[in-house]
Amino acid sequence: MSSEEIYLNYKGLMFPKETHSLESLEFAQEFKFKDEDVMAVVYPKSGTIWMQEILPLLLNGGDLTPIHTIPNWDRVPWLEEKRLALLVDKMASPRAMVTHFPYQLMPPSFHTSKAKVIYVMRNPKDILVSSYYFHKMAAFLEDPRTFDEFVDTFLEGKVLFGKWTDHVKGWKSAELGNRLMYITYEEMVQDLPAALRQMSDFLGRNLSEDTIQKIAEHCSFKTMKTNKMSNFSLVPKMYMDADKSPFLRKGVLGDWKNHFNSEQLAKFTSAIRKDLDSESFSLPWNLD
């Protein structure tokens, strides 16, 4: 299939038609945020599914019911996907959602509300590797061809939700004061209880140490991989073929070292540095 058949172009960005429609994207633009809403903003393949596991538990004091009974896409829906319109009236407050939207696509009501945002960043080299395998197994995405070709595709921003550097720049320059918290995927992998404590404090939840430990245990990669409400095994094989690559693949740091050769790494590093050249923030990873 051609990319025109697979993707929808909306405001210059690519969205998979399987999960998005012009109606769903307009619905997102008209969405009315409430002050108590909580949103995880995540560039694709940077920890979205993880946040869909974590947010309900932080907000409900560690009650495991939602993560065992509701598929993640209904538990913490995507702002921009078709499902939200079907769920929105049933969502109890505080509502938790996720989005891949760049900052400039956030709806007007977001800016006038007090909704809180946790922005999760991940090392772009690991994002690229994870994205490459996801494109291999998801029938609703274009074939990534070779890894070498996919490096170019990624750097040119010819991927879902555009360039990684544009996404980071937009959210890093967002002036939202105490409504916005930044955390990295790496911090979450290295010390999940500490990351959960930080998020819990940010959301004004006074959770006990026992609750934090319980949430950390149930949100570990190993546990999520076996939870059918979280591991996407409920999705028919015609859409996502786990035989080609499991959806929750490794959840480790630095897998990029097993994929990049020195030439690809030099090209990647140079392109990312150039894109971020005039920015005032620095990245928390060494790109070399």
Longest dimension (CA), the chain: 52
Query: Considering just the CA atoms, what is the radius of gyration of the chain in Å?
Result: 18
| Chain center to CA of 4 | 24
Four-point Cα dihedral 86, 229, 251, 264, nearest 10: -40
Neighbouring residues of 173: CB distance < 8 A, sequence distance ≥ 6: 103
Q: In what order do the strands lie in the sheet with 38-42?
A: 96-99, 38-42, 116-121, 180-184
Query: Where in the chain does DSSP place strands (E)?
Result: 7-10, 13-16, 38-42, 96-99, 116-121, 180-184
Three-point CA angle 281, 47, 198, nearest 5°: 65
> Which candidate in 20, 68, 100, 259 is catalytic?
100
Q: Which is nearest to 197 in space by CA: 181, 175, 177?
A: 181
- Give the separation between CA 222 and CA 266, rounded to whole angstroms: 33
218 assigned to active site:
no
Residues marked as catalytic: 100
